[in-house]
Amino acid sequence: MKMKPAVPLLLLALLAVTGLSQAQLGNSFLDFSWILPSLSRPANHSRIFYAVMFDAGSTGTRIHVYTFIQSDLEQLPVLDNEMFHSIKPGLSAYADVPETAGQTVRMLLKVAKRTVPRVEWKRTPLVLRATAGLRLLPAQKAQALLNQVQHVFDESPFLVSDDGVSIMNGKKEGLLAWISLNFLTGHLKAQSRKTVGILDLGGGSTQITFLPKLRKTTESAPAADYTAKFDVLNSTFELYTHR
């Protein structure tokens, strides 16, 4: 099944595939280390790259298998294709039977194995980010679900890191969506003066993130947790975000 790219996961996939570091993204008040799994990809002389991303949401678990092509070694790869599949309910529904969550992920991994050539499995990043469904669970139950997923990932033939499975908080979810959408639409380029705000209506949470026109918007924010300032692609942005 094909569909339009899931915006936040697309940038996560691109970063994992290219191995961009915090230094390459620029010094920032926003720590990007939470985005990238700490892994070192085996050498790949091909110009075709793959990434497997799991979105563990409140209403379902989705797998996105991205294919990137790098036509210019001086530029980032471009998205060529996405394969998508989902299963309901979300992992949080299995809080009392975490083993079932592992079975769900194992079934979805079959999509990745059918899509990614076998020769590419060992160098293809495999990452899961959970959102509101697991954020709302008691910490112990959420961790039990993550442990099951990590176990399934470790058994897989794909490239997995110890921090490849985690829960993403609402602020970071909104920021990543904003960066991804504006990257895809070309609004992060230095010559671009306009950006696009995002309103992400999820099954268990909502995030709104935008670049204010007036500085007083960020200055009057009720807490520092509502703002984020960072450098990316040679431009500085100070966003207002709420969830």
- The reply to whether 206 sits in an annotated binding site is yes
Does 236 appear as a known binding residue?
Answer: no
Q: Is the Cβ–Cβ distance between 125 and 167 less than 8 Å?
A: no
As a three-state string, the secondary structure of 91-102 is HHHHCCCHHHHH
202 is in an annotated binding site: no
204 marked ligand binding residue? yes
Residue 215's region, left for phi above 0, alpha for psi from -120 to 50, else beta, is alpha
Task: Answer whether 86's CB lies under 8 Å from 56's CB.
Answer: no
> Cα separation of 59 and 88, whole Å?
6
Which positions are annotated as active-site residues?
173
Cis (ω within 30 of 0) for the bond into 89? Answer: yes
d(CA 210, CA 178): 7
Quick count: other Cβ atoms within 10 Å of Cβ 48? Answer: 13
Rounded CA separation 118/238 (Å): 43
Asked whether residue 205 is marked as a ligand-binding residue, the answer is yes
Residue ranges of the annotated binding site for ATP are: 203-207
Residue ranges of the annotated binding site are: 203-207
